Amino acid sequence: MKISGTTQIVGVFGFPVRHTLSPEMHNAAFEAMGLNFCYVPFEVPPDRLPAALEGVRALGLVGVNVTIPHKQAVIPGLDEITARASLIGAVNTVHHTQGRLVGDNTDAEGFLKPLQALLGSLKGKRAVLIGAGGAARAVAFSLAAEGASVWIANKTPERARVLAEDIIGAFNVERAWAASLTETAALQEILTSADIVINATSVGMYPHHQSPPAIPPEMLRSGQVVYDLVYNPVETAILRAARARGCATIDGLEMFVWQGAIAFERWTGRAAPVDVMRKTVAARLRP
Ligand code: NAP
């Protein structure tokens, strides 16, 4: 990479940020496309977020990704957010365009991309979502917006109920259902008729990759699509078990790469070299 007088800067705001794989992924993509861009990690403490956003304006950064713990806190500092980000209540990508900071949620679109590539339209599909944290929220709203029904089960059932109620409120229909992970009979029943099963918990993530999956894999059946948001390792215990039971699978690396690819396209106006991005990140992860 050659930094020159015309290099354009993008980056990521997080706290901490040192574990991020985004700089390598985006810089490899810029290099592959011959674009004079550079992606930099910025460790921004929560109380410095407003100043950091002013920095985006003052320094003329093209945009930033925003990660934990800033995804909600960033919203009041922006000039505009997309309808999707507003619905989810979280922003992960900011584009500095025509003097304005515009926030979007590319996690949502990045989640949908590989799922739609496999299934086509999600209208009328039944999805069981395990988890009710930040990532689950983006997933639940994306699925509901595409016309899928969403059933949510979470370790803390109250969080699942809140998310389900938010979805019902946002879409003005009864499309969500919530339970605790310990209600195994109810869980088994809804899983039987599910088309899509998503793990949006952190269960299975390195260094706890040997832990049992958040739901017993015996509850899965052949023909379902099992999607794990965890991307390190790429092949998690639930995905391995799902494949053995005849399910189609999508790993968290796909979602990670696509959320990055969509941000890349916003910032550069060019189609992202998705294969280069995937290969770069995969080389840094446990298989
Ligand atoms: P989060 O907000 O902290 O939520 C964590 C979720 O995991 C909650 O639902 C939590 O349940 C559940 N959980 C934690 N420990 C559990 C356990 N032992 N058994 C069952 N459930 C448990 O985290 P997040 O940001 O949503 O991230 C969740 C996962 O998605 C992480 O692995 C993250 O790396 C991954 N992710 C991937 C991508 C991607 O691009 N592939 C993007 C975003 C996130 P409680 O509510 O009961 O605590």
Q: 98: left (phi > 0), else alpha (psi -120 to 50), else beta?
A: left
Each residue of 138-178: pLDDT tens digit? 999 999 999 999 999 999 999 999 999 999 999 877 667 88
Question: Ligand 1 test: best mutation among 20, 107, 115, 201, most atoms within 8 Å of CB?
Answer: 201
What are the boundaries of each domain within the chain?
8-104+256-282, 108-250
Residue 222: count of CB within 10 angstroms of its CB: 9
CA distance 91 to 71: 5
* 71 given a catalytic annotation: yes
Determine the atom of ligand 1 nearest the C-alpha atom of 110.
Answer: 40
Task: Quote the ligand 1 centre to 199 CA distance (angstroms).
Answer: 8
Supply the CATH classification number for the domain 8-104+256-282. Answer: 3.40.50.10860
CB of 103 shorter than 6 A to ligand 1? no
- Is 286 or 126 the better-scoring residue by pLDDT? 126
H-type alpha helices, 7-133: 22-33, 49-59, 83-88, 106-119
For domain 108-250, give the fold: Rossmann fold (3.40.50)
Phi-psi region of 34 (alpha: psi -120 to 50; beta: other; left: phi over 0): left
DSSP secondary-structure letter at 217?
G
**Do the two domains 8-104+256-282 and 108-250 of this chain adopt the same fold?**
yes
Given 2, 71, 113, 125, which residue is catalytic? 71
**For residue range 16-72, what is the model confidence (pLDDT) as tens digits?**
999 999 999 999 999 999 999 999 999 999 999 999 999 999 999 999 999 999 999
**CB 227 less than 6 A from any atom of ligand 1:** no
Closest Cα to atom 43 of ligand 1:
135
Ligand 1 pocket test target in 115, 202, 285 with most atoms within 8 Å of CB: 202
Q: Decide whether any atom of ligand 1 lies within 6 Å of the 156 Cβ.
A: yes
Q: Would you say the CB of residue 191 lies under 6 angstroms from ligand 1?
A: no
pLDDT tens digits, one per residue of 178-233: 889 998 998 999 999 999 999 999 999 999 898 999 999 999 999 999 999 999 99
Q: How far apart are CA 219 and CA 217, in angstroms?
A: 5
